[in-house]
Amino acid sequence: MDTRLLLLVLAAAAAAPLASAQLEPGFYRTTCPDAEKVVSSVVERRFKADPATSALLLRLIFHDCFANGCDASILIDPLSNQSAEKEAGSNMSVRGYDIIDEAKAELEKMCPNVVSCADIVVLSARDGVRLAGGPAYEVPTGRRDSLVSNREDADNLPGPDIAVPKLMSEFSDKGFSTEEMIVLVAGGHTIGTARCLFIEVDAAPIDPAYRSNITTFCDGKDGDKGKVSLDEITPNLVDANYYDLALAKKMPLTVDRLMGLDPTTMPILKSMATKPAEFNPLFAKVMVKLSAMKVITGKDGEIRKSCSAFNNPTSTNDDQSVIRISSLLPGEMEGLSPVAAKGTSESRKLAGVGAAEEAQNAAAGVMGGPGINKVVGNEATIPTNSVPAAIGTSNKIAENQVAPNEASSDANAAGGLDAGDETAVKKSMRRKKKNKAMGRNSFSMAAAGDEASKRDKKATGNEAASDVAAGGAQPSNVV
């Protein structure tokens, strides 16, 4: 490893906010000497099978660390008497949990009760970045796992159409400078894809030719299911292309185009674009800083035996991690452990009508009230099929659906499904689908793939029925 890069990385670790001195490189050198090799082996195996692995792991670490610190709280499955960060709207399409579970299972066989899930998340992201052509960097280890996972802690991740000053404020509150924010977003948005459902070409200035290509592609046979590469030049690589693409207004997500126009961020982007060789050491440094946010060390927290469950889950309402009946719907439980899924399903049967409606609205991210920005995800699946200008793919994913009574409501409002009204009704249904999906994703890093989309499909049908019954609840605008 380059000596200069190593020094930068270690300096970042030392300067990270709220990072304990107990974090150190090679923390497991005596207790589990091959821990990092095991994690790397699992990630490399997954990456060879699916290059989207890198994007999944980048998004996973951002959603864990940016919510309430790098403590593996995002990995906890919700139970009938426990909410969890997984239920937050921005986390509904996060994937990669199975990669962490696989690494944990192998480590438990080798070194039981030694390596934390929080460290596995951080190490996996590091390896994903390297495999995708990004910098190879060291991260200090020694994190411990949280004893708490609350949905509310993950409800405020930045959205894809957030104003740049607000975005800078969000990062500043976490201890990041504007330059660090730009580098982190640049690295996170240089791989992965965004679904057409979440692309707003009218929300910010966009290159006319790029707009034409996106519009043509997203209006094609795949429609909302289509996927557009975040980086149309090298969609599979972590590199410095973000700067030029944001300045050229050739990116699908609104926030990225706004970054190239804002009077504060635009000059920084221009400067960074002239020095692409500096991207790798800067991205390595900011990733180490992200990885050290609000960590748990020493004797605090725990070393989980299973990353998806606390070692000693509480059963009373006195503990802060037990806040309400799970808000997950049966159709949203893919990927959860059988025990968690069963517990959540049973809680549905016992909940009263009022509680059920509240839980359904919570699962849809329904909050109401003005002044809150909607969230949107960018897909993690790296494209395999190109479209004009190499901007999209046609990976097959399940289509979001709207409940039949929503269609009836639209038809009634339009005076019936006459031929002249059909287009208006379709547009209305499309808006409803988009609004519901908006509450499920954040702008950060790269987002979910096929399985998450299937989960969205099932959940959306249930949520639509709930919204109609409630008189038309408004979509979430969680930042």
Residue 190 assigned to a binding site: yes
Residue 276 assigned to a binding site: no
- Within 10 angstroms of residue 10's Cβ, the number of other Cβ atoms is 17
pTM assigned to the model:
0.68
Q: Which of 82, 75, 159, 94 is nearest to 372 (CA)?
A: 159
Max Cα distance, the chain (Å): 74
Cβ neighbours of residue 50 closer than 8 Å, sequence gap 6 or more: none
In the Cβ-directed half-sphere of 443, how many Cα atoms lie within 13 Å? 29
Residue 239 assigned to a binding site: yes
In the Cβ-directed half-sphere of 241, how many Cα atoms lie within 13 Å? 19
Q: Which of 474, 476, 475, 469 is nearest to 409 (CA)?
A: 469
Dihedral sign for Cα 354, 355, 360, 362, please.
positive
Q: Which of 120, 102, 118 is nearest to 68 (CA)?
A: 118
Q: Which of 249, 254, 246, 261 is nearest to 199 (CA)?
A: 254
- Within 10 angstroms of residue 9's Cβ, the number of other Cβ atoms is 24
Residue 207 assigned to a binding site: no
Q: How far apart are CA 255 and CA 189, in angstroms?
A: 11
- Catalytic one among 59, 63, 95, 227? 63
Q: How far apart are CA 90 and CA 419, in angstroms?
A: 38
Q: What is the pLDDT of residue 443?
A: 52
10-residue block means of pLDDT along the chain (479 residues)?
A: 51 46 90 98 97 94 95 92 86 92 98 98 98 97 96 86 94 97 96 89 96 95 92 94 98 96 98 97 98 96 96 59 38 43 39 34 30 35 34 34 36 34 44 44 45 39 36 31
By the 10 Å C-beta count (0-12 exposed, 13-18 middle, 19+ buried), 89 is classed as buried
Q: The tokens 């249904």 sit on which residue?
A: 429
Q: How far apart are CA 183 and CA 180, in angstroms?
A: 5
- Domain layout of the chain by residue ranges: 3-150+289-310+321-326
Q: How far apart are CA 21 and CA 19, in angstroms?
A: 7
- Within 10 angstroms of residue 422's Cβ, the number of other Cβ atoms is 12
Q: What is the pLDDT of residue 298?
A: 94
Q: How far apart are CA 112 and CA 118, in angstroms?
A: 15
Residue 158 assigned to a binding site: yes
Q: What is the pLDDT of residue 197?
A: 86
Residue 231 assigned to a binding site: yes
Q: What is the pLDDT of residue 114?
A: 98
In the annotation, is 349 catalytic?
A: no
Q: What is the pLDDT of residue 100?
A: 98
Residue 219 assigned to a binding site: no
Q: What is the pLDDT of residue 3?
A: 52
Cβ neighbours of residue 209 closer than 8 Å, sequence gap 6 or more: 389
Residue 234 assigned to a binding site: yes
- Confirm or reject CATH 1.10.1130.10 for domain 3-150+289-310+321-326, answering yes or no: no
- Within 10 angstroms of residue 173's Cβ, the number of other Cβ atoms is 8
DSSP characters over 7-61: HHHHHHHHHSTT--TT-BTTTTTTT-TTHHHHHHHHHHHHHHH-TTHHHHHHHHH
